[in-house]
Amino acid sequence: MRITAVMPRQDQVGALVDSLENIGFNRKDMIITDMAKSERGLEEDPGDIIDIKTEREGLGEKEHYTDTFSVRIEYGILVSLEVSEKKAARVMEIMEQNGATEIIKE
């Protein structure tokens, strides 16, 4: 399952990434997207890929990572990762402790 934290500030993202690494996740397994940069990029040049890391990199495909969510997210910095059902509660707890304003479990 995928769990995504909506973080209001960049410094909180760094702390969250460190906390997730401490329990065994790798940074390369996380997808981090800054919504402010994504929105600005859509207005300036919709052809640019704004996401820091995306899992949607097909041939010629340039859709934003946030298009895959069932809810509309318009603010903050998103930190997403795939976790097993067994680790989901712990990951969500860590996200909340690090200041997530919203946690999306899909």
How much is the pLDDT for 49?
A: 39
How much is the pLDDT for 95?
A: 97
Per-residue model confidence as pLDDT tens digits over 87-97: 999 999 999 99
Name all domains of the chain by residue range, CATH numbers in brackets.
Answer: 2-105 (3.30.70)
CA distance 104 to 106: 6
Averaged confidence pLDDT in the chain: 77
Whether the pLDDT of residue 33 is over 90: the answer is: no
Angle at 77 between CA 72 and CA 78, to 5 degrees: 65
CA distance 45 to 43: 6
Per-residue model confidence as pLDDT tens digits over 47-80: 443 444 444 444 344 445 555 555 566 678 999 9
Token pair belonging to 58: 């097909």
How much is the pLDDT for 96?
A: 97
| Burial letters 8-42, b for 16+ CB under 10 A, else e | eeeebbeebbebbeeeebeeeebbbbbbeebeebe
